[in-house]
């Protein structure tokens, strides 16, 4: 039985964890969809509560959509590492033959695909309720596309720090929400700038810069936080 076995490349290992987590998200559709439905509900409550004042709604739209996206991503983040911690697979990640930071990146990518990406896809439909023009809607989608991965990356740091803690979800929000403020400002700001007839490239470039920064730094921080949390 003890056959010589081929080594696994780093890329294959990251893909393995990415596919595993996506598969889990698919098999637990109720959990995956809950965060998206929360997003839809929260965004839809505003037009209902405020009434048919299209000028006001148009001004509020970017802020409302972005805040809802932020809260919804907090909801799904609590379980990013908690489930793995509970069933012992997180320990196996720490003892893996591959650097933990890259595996964490694979997990975060899968998490974004099953949460943030869904929000991006459903956002244009919600924007209709706010009477956003199609091109403003495009800017909103673009800002979400750049911004939601940053939320997942930042949130992963909070999730890693609070893994195994009781009441971790509240603490997670308290830790991550302040960090997410720049994303919110530039994300919502992009659409507002577009509506005001200004250029959006500055806002989107800043969001892109935040994404690059988070991509580079967050996985390393997550790895360090997980090692501390599992002591």
Residues within the interface to another protein (CB under 8 A)? 1-8, 12-13, 16-17, 20, 23-24, 27-28, 86-89, 91-100, 103, 230-231
98 or 111: whose CB is closer to another protein?
Answer: 98
Taking the complex as a whole, the smallest distance from the CB of residue 11 to another protein amounts, in Å, to: 11
Distance CA 76, CA 184 (A): 18
Tokens of 96: 């893996």
Distance CA 169, CA 76 (A): 10
Tokens of 173: 């929000």
**CB 56, CB 50: distance < 8 Å:** yes
Distance CA 223, CA 214 (A): 14
Identify the CA nearest to 83 among candidates 20, 137, 154, 1.
20
17 or 74: whose CB is closer to another protein?
Answer: 17
Taking the complex as a whole, the smallest distance from the CB of residue 155 to another protein amounts, in Å, to: 21
Taking the complex as a whole, the smallest distance from the CB of residue 36 to another protein amounts, in Å, to: 19
27 or 166: whose CB is closer to another protein?
Answer: 27
Q: Is 167 left (phi over 0), alpha (psi -120 to 50) or beta?
A: left
Taking the complex as a whole, the smallest distance from the CB of residue 166 to another protein amounts, in Å, to: 15
17 or 163: whose CB is closer to another protein?
Answer: 17
Taking the complex as a whole, the smallest distance from the CB of residue 124 to another protein amounts, in Å, to: 31
20 or 58: whose CB is closer to another protein?
Answer: 20
């Amino acid at each position: 039985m003890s056959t010589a076995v081929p080594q696994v490349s780093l890329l294959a290992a990251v893909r393995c964890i990415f596919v595993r987590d996506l598969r889990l998200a698919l098999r637990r559709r109720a959990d995956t969809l809950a965060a998206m439905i929360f997003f839809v509900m929260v965004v839809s409550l505003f037009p209902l509560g405020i009434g048919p004042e299209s000028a006001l709604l148009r001004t509020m739209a970017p802020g409302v959509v972005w805040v809802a996206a932020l809260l919804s991503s907090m909801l799904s983040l609590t379980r990013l590492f908690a489930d793995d911690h509970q069933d012992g697979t997180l320990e196996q990640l720490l003892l893996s033959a591959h650097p933990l930071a890259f595996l964490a990146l694979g997990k975060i990518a899968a998490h974004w695909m099953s949460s943030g990406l869904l929000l991006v896809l459903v956002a244009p439909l919600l924007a209709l309720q706010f009477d956003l023009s199609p091109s403003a809607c495009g800017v909103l989608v673009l800002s979400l596309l750049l911004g939601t991965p940053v939320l997942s990356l930042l949130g992963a740091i909070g999730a890693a720090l609070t893994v195994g803690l009781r009441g971790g979800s509240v603490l997670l929000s308290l830790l991550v929400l302040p960090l997410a403020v720049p994303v919110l400002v530039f994300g919502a700001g992009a659409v507002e700038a577009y509506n005001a007839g200004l250029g959006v490239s500055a806002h989107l470039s800043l969001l892109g810069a935040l994404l690059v920064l988070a991509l580079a730094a967050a996985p390393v921080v997550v790895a360090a936080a997980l090692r501390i949390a599992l002591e």
